[in-house]
């Protein structure tokens, strides 16, 4: 294994200088992104610094299961809230469907991975559980956002068509089936596209991070293959569960369409 080059404060300062230059370019071109770039820079530094200290603390206690689950619960809740806010601000109950769909897809994926693929000595090994779960959570959040937002907008803009199907004897599930399928397909498209070109056009962040840490390229590639398959499965399951739950919210007990 090659020697790992550690970064000091000077190196991080040089990296921050890139963002300062980006802010300067935005000001020069009058793009109006200066505040957003500055805020994103500060948040990136603070959030990742806090994460580094928290993980160091957890690793020091040999992967305490309570601490690991607490971190995952916080990450899951934040992901659900972010996705819900982007889908529809007027339907507060959506957060429950988002939370539940992301939780089930992530939990099933990580349990399967730990039991059959990685098989760590302890199921709550933070070295494996937290990075894998965070990757799955982040992608599941984006998938839930795309699927949910598209489904809600499509149903709200297609009320006449849906009511026509209902008047002709279709069930609520049949009336919105095509809209649900289109939403799921749209949500999975970024993941599928990434899988199509991975390794040829892009080097994924996880793969690049392992290479920078000195891990053998073939071993890094193996982990990246596993990760991509985990993400694809979790994304699909998230979209399927969320859209099914959301569809039910648009109809009352009498199978009548309700405007959301």
Q: Tens digit of pLDDT for each residue in 142-181?
A: 999 999 999 999 998 888 898 888 888 888 889 999 999 9
pLDDT at 61: 65
3-class DSSP string for the chain: CCCCCCCCHHHHHHHHHHHHHHHHHHHHCCCCCHHHHHHHHHHHHHHHHHHHHHHHHHHHCCCCHHHHHHHHHHHHHHHHHHHHHHHCCCCCCHHHHHHHHHHHHHHHHHHHHHHHHHCCCCCCCHHHHHHHHHHHHHHHHHHHHHHHHHHHHHHHHCHHHHHHHHHCCCCHHHHCHHHHHHHHHHHHHHHHHHHHHECCCECCHHHHHHHHCCCCHHHHHHHHHHHHHHHHHHHHHHHHHHHHHHHHHCECCCCCECCC
Q: For the segment 182-223, what is each residue's pLDDT rounded down to a tens digit?
A: 999 999 999 999 888 877 766 666 666 666 666 777 777 888
Q: Does 116 have pLDDT greater than 80?
A: yes
The pLDDT of 33-54, averaged and rounded, is 89
Spans of all domains in the chain: 1-60, 66-249
């Amino acid at each position: 294994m090659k020697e790992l080059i550690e970064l000091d404060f000077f190196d991080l300062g040089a990296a921050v200088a890139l963002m300062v230059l980006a802010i300067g370019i935005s000001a020069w071109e009058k793009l109006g992104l200066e505040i957003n770039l500055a805020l994103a820079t500060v948040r990136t530094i603070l959030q990742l610094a806090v994460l580094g200290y928290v993980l160091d603390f957890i690793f020091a206690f040999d992967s305490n299961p309570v601490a690991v689950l607490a971190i995952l619960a916080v990450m899951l809740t934040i992901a659900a809230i972010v996705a819900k806010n982007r889908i529809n601000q007027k339907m507060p109950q959506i957060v429950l469907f988002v939370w539940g769909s992301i939780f089930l897809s992530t939990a099933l994926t990580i349990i399967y991975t730990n039991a059959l693929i990685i098989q760590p000595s302890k199921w709550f090994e933070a070295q494996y559980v937290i990075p894998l779960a965070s990757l799955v959570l982040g992608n599941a959040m984006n998938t839930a956002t795309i699927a949910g937002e598209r489904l809600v907008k499509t149903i709200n803009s297609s009320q006449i068509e849906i009511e026509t199907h209902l008047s002709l004897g279709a069930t609520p599930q049949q009336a919105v089936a095509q809209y649900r399928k289109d939403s799921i397909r749209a949500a999975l498209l970024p993941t599928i596209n990434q899988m199509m070109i991975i390794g040829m056009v892009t080097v994924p962040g996880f793969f690049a991070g392992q290479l920078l840490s000195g891990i053998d390229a073939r071993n890094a590639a193996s982990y990246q293959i596993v990760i991509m398959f985990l993400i694809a499965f979790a994304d699909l399951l998230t979209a399927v569960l969320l859209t099914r739950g959301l569809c039910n919210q648009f109809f009352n007990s009498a199978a009548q369409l309700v405007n959301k």
